[in-house]
Structure 1
């Protein structure tokens, strides 16, 4: 593994795969699948007022819908990781899409809240399978273009996360069952595109540098542990900004409308950032991209502590944090090509990080106050940068 531009590595190309993993139609269908999982995750929040009215729920009870989704997501990642390589790729992805469809339809039609939670859990299992399966296949399936393709794939998640709440806003939260049913039906055509997915599991190591990276002077467990820490911490920053930016902006003097708009811009910039980094990933290594990303979001969070700069600084955080998740997966696969379950561990850890970030940050804010939000997140971001620098040293090229 090296910090050289990828273009310099092409003089020693790795052997080509016997057949592409995805046809053109399957690539498009995969991007549509990520729009759908982004929309699914984002649909629960805007529909909470309708949940509460229909089932007579407290705010905390209504919030269990998204919690059930995330728990199902972790289960789905770990479950389908066990199946990955034992059954064909088409069966893994097809069953994931089917579980999402059945779970979403069950959530829409559930007569009681416990049944709705069970359906959300089921949909989450399918969500986790799609998230893990496509990320894993894109990470090893496009040679030196894998990092670029992963950023494009995950950018479509952001498109779905923007469109889902917008759709609820247009039709009204009271019509959330119709939205979830439409979502369920939208999964079904993707099953027809699975013929374009190669059924056998590709061997990792066909990405940047031809899999020449290795762990030097450090145990594999230590490297995986720091990768997990990087994913948990950066998702904590991502969720922390998304959850607390509106409150912080209102506390320092901005109106509710401005705060809400600025938060939407933050999520939009995450999507834009992944599209922008795709061509850069063809020229620069994953290590370089993630280092710049961590440094940039640390500086932006420090700037967000200045009230006059805060809305713009938070947008910068979204831009810089965008490439970390998709760019880290090919790096991980090259650093630990024999650790087959490494990708599943970090993806599951990122979901756990999103769940744990809320209570942990909330407790820290109780001690320090709302105005300290950007500084608290800046500290977490600095830890991401430290983890990245450690990983660069621990996964050097021969």
Structure 2
């Protein structure tokens, strides 16, 4: 993978981070322009995520080469963004958001999968660098709308589309030599395969649920503790900032520690921080800690998946698609729990979701140990 291909992929991740973050600040302008309700305006993000799932699965199943699939994803994202900017009716805008989401999903999964294959020993480090740029875009997108005003969203989406098309020139640097997937041992070709894949899906879905749960409900918890609305919003911004910084900061650790060690340590750190978040005096700092610890989990678990589940090309696609469902499903599910138990239950409910991450990791580690034991017995 050439250096300008790496740069192009990182810029593409800035774009998809910005795209996902643009919808929220633009909702008020959507409502004013199309005369729609708040729930109807919120369908834009739902259409985006549904498109993202379709984009991930379509990328994995397409027979095209990787550069062709990334090019198609960039074109779809550009067309969708332009459609959101120019749509004369709300249903057409939702269709456009879906198309943009298809491109989003293809780029998200395609670049992650390509980095995991291209950078063998440095895979975790490069994946964390790549995904950190998603956070850069997620921070920059709302800032741009804040500077220009929500009513200028058509110009912002059109500019986004133009930059997406400009990235097509860098795709020639993303073609990497094919790499072999780790093959299962002849002695035990299918030990725990389905269980491992299911456990990784649970890990990813629950981890994204923790990520989205804190991002969505931290302000509610902090306001219930007596913090102002602006102070709670600022603290939530710090949470996202710490997640972005965490992916850069973990890079040196990926060269010294195994993927498994980093993922386990991160999920344990999340658990400690969520427990501290239940203590009013520590809540703001604890949520920032959650952002720092959760940062490496998503990118670092991907190389672990590729090594643990032979033939993981399709498996990775299913894991990515399922993780997007977690981002859609968990905020309202947590909201239902908060409605019953009160705003003070936010860190407790999210702690339970993270405990399911740890349960999935425990199953993965046990299955890998059983596989090694069986392979050793068969060859010894």
TM-score relative to the length of structure 1:
0.90
Question: Deviation of residue 155 (structure 1)?
Answer: 0.3
Deviations 1:169-219 (A, max 9, x none): 0000010101001100011121111111226653234xxxx999x989952
User: 1:94-243 to 2 correspondence within 5 Å?
Assistant: 94-198=71-175, 201-205=178-182, 218-243=191-216
Distance (Å, rounded) in 2 between the aligned partners of 1:347 and 1:201: 21
Q: Number of paired residues?
A: 370
Does residue 51 (structure 1) correspond to residue 55 (structure 2)? The answer is no
Q: For 1:291-337, what per-residue CA distance to the aligned partner results, in whole angstroms no more than 9, with x for missing partners?
A: 11000001100100111110100000000001010001100000112
5+ long unaligned stretches in structure 2: none
Q: Deviations over 1:9-41 (max 9, x none)?
A: xxxxxxxxxxxxx10001001000000000000
Distance 2:342 2:349 in 1: 10
2: distance between equivalents of 1:216 and 1:241?
Answer: 40
Whole-Å separation in 2 of the counterparts to 1:56 and 1:338: 49
Which whole-Å deviations, capped at 9, do the CAs of 1:199-250 have from their partners, x for residues lacking one? 6653234xxxx999x9899521111001000001010010000000011100
3-state DSSP of counterpart to 1:144: coil
**Partner of residue 43, structure 2:** 64
**Hey, what does 2:9 align to over in structure 1?**
30
Residue of structure 2 equivalent to 1:88? 65
Q: Deviations over 1:36-95 (max 9, x none)?
A: 000000000000000001111111000000000000000000111101xx2111100000
For structure 1, the 5+ residue unaligned runs are 1-21
How far residue 116 of structure 1 moved from its aligned partner, in angstroms, is 0.3
Work out whether residues 89 and 201 of structure 1, in 8 Å CA contact, stay in contact via their aligned partners in 2. no
Give the TM-score taking structure 2 as reference length: 0.94
Q: Which has the higher helix share?
A: 2
* Alignment partners' CA distance in 2, 1:246 and 1:152: 28
Candidates 220, 224, 227, aligned match of 1:247: 220
